[in-house]
A = this chain, B = another copy of it.
């Protein structure tokens, strides 16, 4: 774990995601930050790229959208190294739950090992309906 000093743009993007109730697309973030001087998509994409590197933001591949990492209980900008992260995404209310499970991780590790595959990044996204929306 190591703390990061975020740039102004990175902070703004992270704040937008942290305060959002659902995943945000890059262009939605751009619109939210126009008042703070954002003018072009690249300002958002560049910040998102760094925030993902730092482990502070996740990209949801099945939505083309981004969420703040949920495993920072504190709000310092601490980089923590995730293992495999899975997301349950409610298609009704947009709520996203991030979770981690050692058993699943182990199972996946065995599977790819059997195929002599070297994993760089694993995406697990479960689309459906959350408790409140069933």
Contacts and interface: CB of A to CB of B under 8 A. Distances in A.
A123 B127 CA distance: 8
A104 B90 CA distance: 21
Copies of this chain, tallied across the complex: 2
Contact of A107 (B90, B107, B119, B126): B107
A79 interface: no
A121 interface: yes
A61 interface: yes
Contacts of A130: 115-117
Nearest to A134: B118
B120 A122 contact: no
B123 A119 contact: no
A50 B3 CA distance: 48
5 cross-chain pairs, A with B, having the tightest CB-CB distances, nearest first: A116-B131, A61-B61, A119-B128, A120-B128, A123-B125
